[in-house]
Structure 1
């Protein structure tokens, strides 16, 4: 009897403690609007930022971006660099574990980097790691994968040897392509290693569910080395490319974060939600690519004429409500090591003078009014802003050249897959967000050897030669000069027509704490918290 009474009292006392503690124990959930369905969760095949946002919650590279967009230690707690800048030695965290509790090892990183460069993997972003010794040769099949300049000195020491000093190498290691995979998991599960319930990850979160075109759910990884400081228990990503629907769900408090919303809503949203509206200038360029494999886009005069006839001021002010700025260079301003970009020469002309010059060029090429008819198809990924830009550009080309312009749109994954797989087109919308703060990241897109991102298949031996020299140049000033010459040549040839320097548009609910706007557009959930 006595023991029963004591047990009853203990149970009552325990119940009261649990009731009192319930607010602390309540699960915190972050609802993230993610602007589209990811093509893949395999870091070897990732290419767009809506995949990056998910992958960087699930996995952690040797380095990571903090809340302010600065590089800090990630899976590696420290590193040293040789005097000549070509050998990096990383010390992995002793308590670094995969979500299944097994240790994260140097062998996992060596395996992951070899997997990316292995030509059998066909990684579209393999070039990100080309600064590593023999990476390009491995990727081309010229040397075996075990010749890649990365080795596991021991279980917790990774040594990476570079082809040449690379000032932005630590930033490359924070890229999603450099995220590790568990060798044991890939060996066991093959392509299925990306599936919920199968995936083994080393980041702050683990994948628990994924219903394509509906939601993707992650939960806090209890085995993460810094799990004690991860404040949000669950993250649900919603792949909504319908921007109006995203805003409605934010306004209904169904989503806490929304990435990308229609720019014509900026004024209304600012009035209604004030500092919950975030407009953050970023290292990103909005451009159109011309398919140089076919006429008339193989003619530089046609490309120049089409590009210079586009009123970028109209696009920036009327469509993007001033949240983006007109662009006449592929490289955006704001890269400290590069300075002022090399702009297209027509950027200094008034819009009327540009149009006059464009008409003359088009006539000289034999197209437009009085010449061969211009029939142009503009491809873009589904998005109200992109549709408005395409409609405006179509109208400009119709009014200036009498062109007949049609529009074709696909969802973001299908659009970029089509371009990356070499599909033919006339003109295609694209955007590039810096993987690292260096002009090379934007210019390398147009190398003839870049089979993934050189959408228009631009080929210029002179451009390629300038870029090659820039890779071999160790003096920063001389390297910058070569990159400026390469950009000037590209802006003359106009294989791409830069329209806008972009800003990232986010809606961030007041209850989300720890958010910091940054040019790198890096917002890992591990640095956020929720205050109800």
Structure 2
């Protein structure tokens, strides 16, 4: 060893022993997170599910980003200006915005990312997120080219966007990872491999280091991030765990600092022992069952669809099955959604006994009963809570209507493909979590693949016309009434069964500081710290 190196090593050792430099200061700070399912992609325009969104929030920063409490705040854009008619936005990018390889993030990178998002060849599940931008819809449907999207780079730091109509929620929606920039230079260099570990460049607080299927995803602090000096966690280790009992054991054993989810029974047990570690918060989303309306008997029998919905005792599910304080849902859009007048259908105002009686009446009207029993298949992704809910609902259908239910389960990746391709016979579990605070995000319906209702194959011309009209409406109150009218039509048709409003459910170690419960259930690591 070189003499200078020996002296330096001795001084560091003595400093640690004497308290001049704590051993904690020299140690790597690691945040160990449970993450439910394995991510299937790290492409921000392809990511689609919560287990991927959790990662995207740390890897990518759009023009807007999320604060610690889940609100949209300036991200890659430091400021913006809006024209008097509300149609043209001029975003000014940060001068210190860089990719994880040290190259500047430019307005051209956003143009490329957005054109890629709406390009039908990309097949993005969130392509409709840019529908407010002029020509975006026509591009998604193949009527125009991606280059026709009304977004352009005025210079390296100035992005100009022209909307089809004034859109109040437009800026807030840009916190969603799908609207992140993409480095064209990196895509040109690596092609389809541009979004894999070792190749991916990101502009968020972290970069992708490793991804081992069924084992872990490793993110490390991005030294080129514009706010890198304030980042207090060096490494994020995400562990996919479909079995929440296994995940909780890892948490209790100190191998995880937070869980991806909790069951009702787990919540109850934890609240009795470590209540300060339980975080159960209303979540902007709806858990539901989707009918495949491209198949009979579902396509031609709204009576049958309503009968199955009415027979579900949602209050009993919350009390005895989920046990997580979920609110029963009879509509799709959560109450309290911005500029959307809340309402309840008649079914919500009945007692469960009245709903059961109506269910039997409609079931018979649809032609089913003892002489013609109904047999159906219910498919759901692997997970204890989904199984308990499915079996409880199937028992209700059996007891009240004589329905026989067969169950089919799939791992998350194949299950997503099943939903997107409508490759299920009868009914599939599903859920939708709002990407921004607007009813349109819940009610959007596009037959080409986007929108939460797409798995059902629902198609009602009146519904579609109202949604198109609402997209052009500039008066917020009139727009809200149009969206409510559209939902009334949809609930009357009932292509799906709303079951309950989501609750975010996590166990979080006291060592995690800066955690803020919020309806978006978004917790960027950049705002957190670990104090062990």
CA distance 1:11–1:297, change in 2 (3 Å)? closer
TM (norm. structure 1) is 0.96
Q: CA RMSD in A?
A: 1.7
Task: Write out aligned runs for 1:58-457 (5 A).
Answer: 58-298=59-299, 299-340=301-342, 342-370=343-371, 372-444=372-444, 446-448=445-447, 450-451=449-450, 453=452, 454-457=454-457
Change in 2 beyond 3 A, CA 1:322/1:233: closer
Q: Which moved more, 1:416-425 or 1:6-15?
A: 6-15
Distance 1:425 1:343, change over 3 A: farther
Indicate conservation of the 8 Å contact 2:244/2:384, yes or no: yes
Q: Residues 9 and 463 of structure 1: is their aligned pair in 2 closer, same or farther, counting only changes over 3 Å?
A: closer
> Contact 1:82–1:88 at 8 Å: present in 2 too?
yes
Taking the aligned partners of 1:326 and 1:14, their CA distance within structure 2 comes to: 60
Q: Is the 8 A contact 1:210 1:217 kept in 2?
A: yes
SS of aligned partner of 1:428: strand
Q: What are the equivalent positions in structure 2 for 1:507-522 lying under 5 Å apart?
A: 507-522=507-522
Unaligned stretches of 5+ residues in structure 1: none
- What is aligned with 1:48? 49
3-state SS of paired residue (1:44): coil
For 2:145 and 2:171, how far apart are their aligned partners in 1? 25
Partner of 2:15: 17
Q: Is this contact kept in 2: 1:448–1:460, CA < 8 A?
A: no
Aligned CA distance change for structure 1 residues 384 and 456 (closer, same or farther; 3 Å): same
Distance 1:7 1:322 in 2: 58
1:102-129 CA distance string (max 9 Å, x none): 1111111100101111122122221111
CA spacing shift, 1:179–1:363, aligned 2, 3 Å: same
Q: Structure 1 residues 26, 303: CA separation in 2 closer, same or farther (over 3 Å shift)?
A: same
Partner of 2:492: 492
Query: What is the SS of the residue equivalent to 2:456?
Result: coil
2: distance between equivalents of 1:373 and 1:483?
A: 37
Secondary structure class of the residue paired with 1:326: coil
Deviations 1:161-184 (A, max 9, x none): 111111111222111211222111
> Does residue 502 of structure 1 match 2:502?
yes
Q: Distance in 1 between matches of 2:356 and 2:121?
A: 48
Alpha-carbon distance, 1:16 to partner: 2.5
Superposed CA offset, 1:4-51 (max 9, x none)? 8x9976664354236642321211000010111112111111111110
Count of matched residue positions in the alignment of Structure 1 and Structure 2: 526
Distance 1:172 1:218 in 2: 25
Deviation string, structure 1 residues 208-255 (Cα, Å, up to 9, x no partner): 111011100011011111000010000000111111011000000100
Structure 1 residues 14 and 215 mapped into 2: Cα distance closer, same or farther (>3 Å)? closer
The 8 Å contact of residues 70 and 518 in structure 2, kept in 1 or not, is answered as yes
The separation in 2 between residues aligned to 1:305 and 1:30, in whole angstroms, is 47
Indicate if the aligned counterparts of 2:125 and 2:449 stay in contact, CA closer than 8 A. Answer: no
Distance 1:10 1:279, change over 3 A: closer
- CA gap of 1:489–1:516, structure 2 versus 1, over 3 A, is same
Partner of 1:498, secondary structure, is strand
**Equivalent pair of 1:447/1:458 in contact (CA under 8 Å):** no
Cα pair 1:98 1:224 within 8 Å, conserved = yes
Counterpart-to-counterpart distance in 2, 1:193 and 1:282: 33
CA–CA separation in structure 2 for the residues paired with 1:115 and 1:505: 34
So what's the TM-score if we normalise by structure 2? 0.96
Note if contact 1:447-1:459 (Cα within 8 Å) is conserved in structure 2: no
- SS of the counterpart of 2:416? helix
Aligned with 1:477: secondary structure? helix
SS at match of 1:45: coil
Matching residue of 2:525: 525
CA contact (8 A) 2:92 2:159 kept: yes
**Counterparts of 1:11 and 1:308, CA distance in 2:** 73
Would the alpha carbon gap of residues 477 and 403 (structure 1) be closer, same or farther in structure 2, given more than 3 Å must change?
A: same
Work out the CA distance in 1 between the residues paired with 2:263 and 2:6. 60
Identify the range of structure 1 (417-426 vs 473-482) with the bigger mean alpha-carbon deviation.
417-426
- Call closer, same or farther: CA 1:314–1:358 in 2, change over 3 Å: same
Post-superposition CA distance 1:374-430 (Å, at most 9, x none): 111111111111111100111111112111111111122221221112313201111
Q: CA deviation at 1:491?
A: 1.1
Q: Per-residue deviation at 1:489?
A: 1.1
In 2, Cα distance between equivalents of 1:147 and 1:166: 20
